[in-house]
Structure formats: C-alpha cells, structure tokens
Amino acid sequence: MAEDERAYQRQRRAYRTLYAPAKWLMKGLLNYEFELAPQGAGPCLILSNHVTDFDPILVGLSFPEHMYYVAGENVMRMGLLSKVVTRYASVIQRIKGTTDAEAALQILRTLKKGRNVCMFAEGNRTFTGETLPIAPATAKLVKMARSTLVTYRLTGGYLSTPRWSTHRRKGRVTGKAVGVYPPEEIKGMSEGEISALLARDLYENAYETQQQAPVAFRGKALAETLETALYLCPRCHGIDTLHSRGDRFFCDCGLSMTLDEFGFFRGDELPFKTPLDWDKWQTGEMEKLAASLNDGPAFSDEGQTLNRREADHSLTPLATGTMALYRDRLTLGEYGFPLREIRGIGLIQRQGMVFSTADGDYAVTADKLRCVRKYQTLFEFLKEGIKA
C-alpha cells in the first residue's frame, strides 16, 4: 500500500474515532448545536465562514465522512500539536497573505481522488463578527473543481470566542449546511454568479443576529485585549491610544465604555454601538490616510522581530527593532520591503503578522500587546494606490 493511501486510511480511522468525543467536547465548551449535512453525489467541496479556532471540528461534526481541511501554514509551527495534526488529520497547507497556487492544485488533486475537502472561504477569521469578502479566485476554484459544492454557515461563534479576546464565553453556537449544488449546476454558472452565491450563503453578521434573537454570551473580562482589533479613537483620532481592562474599553483622551454580554457597547456618549461599526469607521479613516500620507510613517511599533520562514516551517530571526509602514515601503530594523514587492499581508491569531515577497516568506512577532491589523488594512489601500 502506498504511503498516501496508508496515511489516508489512518486519518479516516482517527476521524471516526474522534467524532463522538468531539461532539461531546464542542457541546460542553461552546453549547454547539448542528445539523447533519445532506450528502451530494461524489466528492464535496465544503465552503464555510470562519469564526473560531474550533471551526474545523464544528463543520466536521455535520459531515461524519472523513474530509481534508485547508489550513494556514502556521499550523506547522505549533510544536507537538503540529506533529499530531500531521499524522492524524488531513491538512492542505496554504500560506496566508498570498494567493497560494500550490494549495489550489492540491485541493483539485484531492477532490479528483474522490475525497472531500473543507475550506474556510474568507481565508481569514473575522475580527469583528461579519463575514469577510471572499476572493474571486475562490469562485474560479469552485468552477475548476467539478465537484458537489456544499455551503456551510456558523453562527454565534464570533461572540463565543472573539478573535481579539483571550477569554471564551458561553452562549450558543449553531452550524448547518445552507446549500448543496451538484456539479451540473455549478457548470452552468459563471464565476460571478458563484461569487454571489458564496457571498449570500456564507454571510453572517453577529450583531444583526443578536438584534433578531438576542443570546447572552457570559464570561469574564469581556473587553480585554479589544485593542488588538480596534486601534483608532473616534474622539481624539489617536492611533494605539486605546486600552482595555476587564469589561472596560477606554482611550487616553478620556473616552470610556463597557462591553456587555450581548456584544454591545454600553456607556454615555457612545461613538458606536458595536466593534463592527467602529471597525467600519476606522477602515474608512485608513482609506483617507492612504490618500493623504506624506513621506513620514503612518505609524510604527517598537520591539518587533522580523523572521524568515524556512522550508521546514521554522522561523529564523533576522532583526529586532521598530516596524513602520510608509506610503511605499514596510521597514523593520535595517530591512525595508517596497510595497509593490509584497504579495500580501496576513494575520495569525490576534497578533501574528506574515507577508511574502519573491525573495521569501516572513513573520513579524513581538512579546508585547499591539495591534497589527492597522498594517494590513492600510497596506491594502496603499497597494491599490500603487497599482493605480
């Protein structure tokens, strides 16, 4: 038996063995409820929104048959857990912040072998509770796959484990298949129509859901580390002047509020009701900044370490110093990267930042709390300006 087949059979056995314990664990941790997904003919490409670190397990519970998962390359830098995942889980690696052609080819090869593949279509986990835009390349992949497409939506997960938080809350999380589209139906659709279908089926806005059917997500320190998601103050327009303590979120200028168990801000003279509304405003401000930025840096952070990702997934430190973003370059210590050469900036967990150039893949790490979202957001606007 070939090594690929041996690994596949081992991982199928692990999938079946762990199914019942995973069901019990997710019920206990997240109060998770799900529906079994209808099975289409042949191998399925399952596309889901992305709201928690548990999403592969949550989606998998609706599909008792073994599947492969598309995951960020960073899963290979998790020590012993990476070894367990490699041996007992079926993972297709992709590099965040890039359009990973090799990952796409691996997905197509896996489907051609008759094996199911699950991918989180946004390519990133939401920071603020709303499904992120889905790249047009995803629709192209669906078209090329010639397999049954299953769309899957998770709700409640964002408020259970906000990406920016270190604390889990207990509320209610649900998951179910939204649509099952056979290959014949996909064949008759354009890439634009597939993109519209994905945007519709996978869309979730945690705050709209809360307004329609409120659920309390109880936990401790509900606002703590929110400053890794929200970085711009609407009162003083200071960047990185926001802080959190317990349920309280505040700025050096005196702006102060609390975050309640339903996910909404409470207080006097609130600038926004939700972190999502706040984020939409600060994103608009980043677009304005991109258009008006002069020769100085937009912002910077001290104590950052630039690492190069090696072929074995390890990180080699290159420099430690101040990271700064200019209108045409990203710098860290003595290293400088022209924005036109950076393929994309990706985020890992709350504070990890990765980017790629033709010369290699890099990761920026730091020991102190800071927000790297601002780099990704402003970079996207600056990059568009450079293309124009």
3-state secondary structure the chain: CCHHHHHHHHHHHHHHHHHHHHHHHHHHHHCEEECCCCCCCCCEEEEECCCCCCHHHHHHCCCCCCEEEEEEHHHHHCCHHHHHHHHHCCEEEECCCCCCHHHHHHHHHHHHCCCEEEEECCCCCCCCCECCCCCHHHHHHHHHHCCEEEEEEEECHHHHCCCCCCCCCECCEEEEEEEEECHHHHHCCCHHHHHHHHHHHCCCEHHHHHHHCCCCCECCCCCCCHHHCCCECCCCCCECCEEEECCEEEECCCCEEEECCCCCEECCCCCCCCHHHHHHHHHHHHHHHHHHCCCCCCEEEEEEEEEEECCCCCEEEEEEEEEEECCCEEEECCEEEEHHHCCEEEEECCCEEEEEECCEEEEEECCCCCCCHHHHHHHHHHHHHHHC
State the greatest distance between any 2 C-alpha atoms of the chain, in Å, as a whole number.
68
User: Tens-of-pLDDT digits for all 388 residues of the chain?
Assistant: 566 778 778 878 888 888 999 999 999 999 999 999 987 667 999 999 999 999 999 999 999 888 888 876 655 545 555 566 666 566 776 655 445 688 888 899 989 998 899 999 998 899 999 999 999 999 999 999 999 999 999 999 999 999 999 999 999 999 999 999 999 999 999 999 999 999 999 999 999 999 999 999 999 999 999 999 999 999 999 999 999 999 999 999 999 999 999 999 999 989 999 999 999 999 999 999 999 999 999 999 999 999 999 887 789 999 999 999 999 999 999 999 999 999 999 998 889 999 999 999 999 999 999 999 999 999 999 998 776 5
List the structure tokens of 142. 């669906």
Give me the pLDDT at residue 72, please.
66
**pTM: predicted TM-score of the whole model, two decimal places:** 0.90
In the chain, the domains with their CATH numbers are 3-212 (3.40.1130.10), 229-277 (no CATH), 299-387 (2.30.29.30)
* 270, amino acid identity: L
